[in-house]
Amino acid sequence: MTHDHDHDHDHHHDHDHSELTETQLRVRALETVLTEKGYVEPAALDAIVEAYETKIGPRNGARVVAKAWTDPAFKKALLEDATKAIGTLGHVSRVGDHLIAVENTPKQHNMIVCTLCSCYPWEMLGLPPIWYKAAPYRSRAVKDPRGVLADFGVTLPKDTDIRVWDSTAETRFLVLPMRPAGTEGWSEEQLAEIVTRDSMIGTGVPKAPEEKTK
Amino acid sequence: MNGVHDMGGMDGFGRVEVEQNEPAFHHEWEGRVMAMVRAMGANGGMNIDAQRFSRESLPPAVYLASSYYKKWFLALEQSMIDRDMIASDEIAAGHSLRQSPPLKRGTFSMDDVKRVMVRGSFGREPQAAAAFAIGDQVRTKNINPVTHTRLPRYARGHTGVIERINGCHVFPDSNAQGKGDNPQWLYTVVFSGRDLWGADTDPSLKVSIEAFEPYLERA
Amino acid sequence: MTHDHHEHHHHEHGSELSEMQLRTRALESILLEKGYIEPAALDELVETYEKRIGPRNGAQVVAKAWADPEFRKWLFMDGTAAVGSLGFGGRSANHLVALENTPTVHNMVVCTLCSCYPWAVLGLPPLWYKSAPYRSRAVSDPRGVLRDFGIEMPKDTEIRIWDSTAELRYLVVPMRPEGTEGWSEEKLADLVTRDSMIGTGLAKRPEELK
């Protein structure tokens, strides 16, 4: 995969390097202007970048899923009011309001998309990947989700229905994937390790027990 | 607005391309852009709905050809110019050339970082009773505003069922224009894939949207 | 408009132009070498559209409809046959429908999906007709589009948009201007602009003829 796979234009390959430097310069220019006007402090921007590069990521969501798999009362509370339920967990970062957890079952597989832009449960999963925000997924998920799943190498049984949730408002969705067989007796921490980001969006399934050792 | 951002159901974009172990930011400038957008959203009075509308308003060819954070950057620049917070000559010079009005909430500093790391609540007190109940059949209106809306084209003029009531929220259609919260009831409305896309569609498909009450009428 | 948009455009005009020229020549050479085309035939096509087929054809049709009530009746009943009778036949003259502008109804033609156009009577369509702004706005804001053309339609005039989604092509017959009684068809044709036959313009008034 080329590092600029979100561009289709042929001629971009030729001057991609110079376009990169141009954007870098323009962004720096803007940051300088905003700093000089007293609008931002660069250290504050650094802190945000660092939080997303190192601290916030799918691990948060994986912990929530692992707990739901092992604790039926928590699972019930999660499906009823995800924001409130997660708020009771001390070790997971605070999550914004309006989070809804949706459960995968043998009868129904859930998939989340934002056709209009890139709405995503940031506090649970970190920043969304490029593919989630790009035209192919946004355009096809609501019309041909099985085709999209095929792009991810996932085939669902014919008798499993697919429910696609278009995040058109501030309500955000977290998919609660099905717990894989062969994980009986596992600790929450062990279970969290097989919960993939894509399984919480609905474009993947958790790792099989054999795959646990990364 | 009926822009190219409203892509649900469009064809021709090709396969979903996945990058394994994708970093949060592919280039340093992307992180800076994300942070600046957050900062201006929090302290600069640019609410999220107005920010989204500014990206939707990029020229279509630019929208489709620009990477995600490039769109954020271009829209941020343009929004700040439109609000007379910065000027084109300053961008070209890479320096502030004159004094600008202070931000509503002051300089975005370390004290503000914690606040922006958790999404605010968009829930508001109800202004009236909810018009619809769970299980109601509703039809989405055929609205075509040139301003911001969150009712995608593919979901207009279709009949669905109220599945959830999600409380009252800030209404994006008016908030994007600086007309205030104007809270509206928010519902999860589910449609059958066949109703949306025609008789040849996978019968096992259901699609839902989060619809504000002004988008709906009784079916 | 952002700086970025202008830059992109400049790049296109400079090197992209010569790039297209080179690539087109390359393809034409290949087609020639494979025996798929004869260059003279391509030249003939180009010349036909540069010199021989153009809005003058349509103007003559409209002028005749203004001057000759029988022809006018025929034109609206069977556009294909009436236009064909003047020698303007061939591609896209099949299924031609003439639309009558009146004081109460103004017609405007667009092809939202691509660029369908009545070539036989109007020649090749102008760039604006084939471009996104016209294609997107004509069907939802025709008054706004007409304003872009400098025309303010009276509020009580009905505007009828025809989206040429199939092989049927449309020719708008604009209203005959005042003060042209007794004019010859040739002189009348001078008043008929291309845009007036698409519906984004009106026929010229006698004063406007030089």
Instruction: Tell me the pLDDT tens digit for each residue of B58-107.
Output: 999 999 999 999 999 999 999 999 999 999 999 889 999 999 999 989 99
Cα C88 to Cα C90: distance, rounded to the nearest angstrom: 7
Give the whole-number percent of chain B exceeding pLDDT 70: 100
**B54 and B84 share a domain?**
yes
In-domain check, residue B13: no
Quote the tokens at residue A21.
């430097």
**A94 and A161 share a domain?**
yes
Residue that has been written with the tokens 């605010």 in this structure? B120
- Picking from A54, A79, A102, the residue at the C-terminal end of a domain is A54
> Average pLDDT in the A193-212 region?
94
Alpha-helical regions (H) of C68-207: 69-77, 79-84, 119-122, 127-130, 132-137, 142-148, 185-189, 194-198
DSSP B16-81: ----TT--S-SSHHHHHHHHHHHHHHHHS---HHHHHHHHHTS-HHHHHHS-HHHHHHHHHHHHHH
Expressed as residue numbers, the domain containing A27 is: 16-54
In-domain check, residue A9: no
| CB atoms near residue C100 (< 10 Å) | 14
- Picking from B65, B86, B116, the residue at the C-terminal end of a domain is B116
Is residue C69 within 8 Å of C82, Cβ to Cβ?
no
In-domain check, residue A81: yes
In-domain check, residue A155: yes
Report residue A77's pLDDT band, with 50, 70 and 90 as the boundaries: very high
Which of A7, A29, A142 is facing B94, going by the closest CB pair? Answer: A29
Kindly report the CA angle at B119 between B116 and B120, in degrees rounded to 5?
Answer: 95
Cα C88 to Cα C96: distance, rounded to the nearest angstrom: 11
Is the CB of B90 inside 8 Å of chain A's CB atoms? yes
CATH code, domain with B213: 2.30.30.50
What angle in degrees, to the nearest 10, is found between the helix axes of C55-67 and C69-77?
A: 120
Active site residue C116: yes
> Average pLDDT in the B109-137 region?
89
**B102 and B145 share a domain?**
no
Which value does ipTM take for this structure?
0.90
**B111 and B82 share a domain?**
yes
What angle in degrees, to the nearest 10, is found between the helix axes of B28-43 and B48-56?
A: 130
Expressed as residue numbers, the domain containing B80 is: 28-116
CATH code, domain with A93: 3.90.330.10
Q: Which of B2, B62, B63, B79 to mutate to test the interface with C (most CBs of C within 10 A)?
A: B62
Q: Mean pLDDT check: name the lowest of A46-50, A70-74, B177-181, C18-22.
A: C18-22
Given a cut of 60, is residue A5 above it in pLDDT?
Answer: no
Cα C145 to Cα C109: distance, rounded to the nearest angstrom: 12
In-domain check, residue A64: yes
Report residue A10's pLDDT band, with 50, 70 and 90 as the boundaries: very low
Residue that has been written with the tokens 């009545």 in this structure? C118
Cα C141 to Cα C134: distance, rounded to the nearest angstrom: 10
CATH code, domain with B70: 1.10.472.20
- Straight-line distance from the first to the last Cα atom of chain A, in angstroms, rounded to the nearest whole number: 22
Structure confidence by residue, pLDDT tens digits, A83-129:
999 988 876 666 677 899 999 999 999 999 999 999 999 989 999 99
The set of residues, in sequence order, having a beta carbon less than 8 Å from that of B3 and lying 6+ positions away, is: B56, B57, B60, B63
Tell me what pLDDT residue A93 has: 60
Please give the model's pTM, rounded to 2 decimal places.
0.87
Given a cut of 90, is residue A78 above it in pLDDT?
Answer: yes
Given a cut of 70, is residue A210 above it in pLDDT?
Answer: yes
pLDDT in tens, chain C (210 residues): 344 444 444 444 567 778 888 888 888 888 888 888 888 888 888 888 888 889 999 999 999 999 999 999 999 999 999 999 998 865 544 689 999 999 999 999 999 998 999 988 999 899 989 999 999 999 999 999 999 999 999 999 999 999 998 888 999 999 999 999 999 999 999 999 999 999 999 999 999 986
Quote the tokens at residue C185.
């068809």
**A64 and A21 share a domain?**
no
Read off φ and ψ for residue C98, nearest 5 degrees: -95, 140
Measuring CA to CA, which residue among A112, A118, A81 is closest to residue B164? A81
Structure confidence by residue, pLDDT tens digits, A35-52:
999 999 999 999 999 999
Instruction: State the smallest CA–CA distance between residue B184 and chain A in angstroms.
Output: 11
Cα A156 to Cα A150: distance, rounded to the nearest angstrom: 9
Number of domains in chain A: 2
Quote the tokens at residue B135.
């299980």
Contacts of C4 in chain B (CB under 8 A): 62, 74
Kindly report the CA angle at A82 between B151 and B113, in degrees rounded to 5?
Answer: 80
Quote the tokens at residue A61.
């969501």
**A104 and A166 share a domain?**
yes
**B154 and B207 share a domain?**
yes
Instruction: State the smallest CA–CA distance between residue B15 and chain C in angstroms.
Output: 24
Given a cut of 60, is residue A179 above it in pLDDT?
Answer: yes
B211 by DSSP, 3-state: which?
A: strand
Tell me what pLDDT residue C45 has: 85
Tell me what pLDDT residue C7 has: 42
Residue that has been written with the tokens 């995040």 in this structure? A167
Structure confidence by residue, pLDDT tens digits, B22-66:
888 899 999 999 999 999 999 988 999 999 999 999 999 999 999
How does strand B137-140 pair with strand B216-218?
antiparallel
Measuring CA to CA, which residue among B28, B139, B62 is closest to residue C7? B62
Contacts of B144 in chain C (CB under 8 A): 140
Residue that has been written with the tokens 């660029």 in this structure? C115
**A109 and A172 share a domain?**
yes
Question: Judged by CB atoms within 8 Å, which residues 58-87 of B form the interface with C?
Answer: 58-62, 65, 74, 77-78
- Picking from B58, B84, B116, the residue at the C-terminal end of a domain is B116
Instruction: State the smallest CA–CA distance between residue B101 and chain A in angstroms.
Output: 9
Quote the tokens at residue C78.
């069977």
Kindly report the CA angle at C170 between C168 and C176, in degrees rounded to 5?
Answer: 160
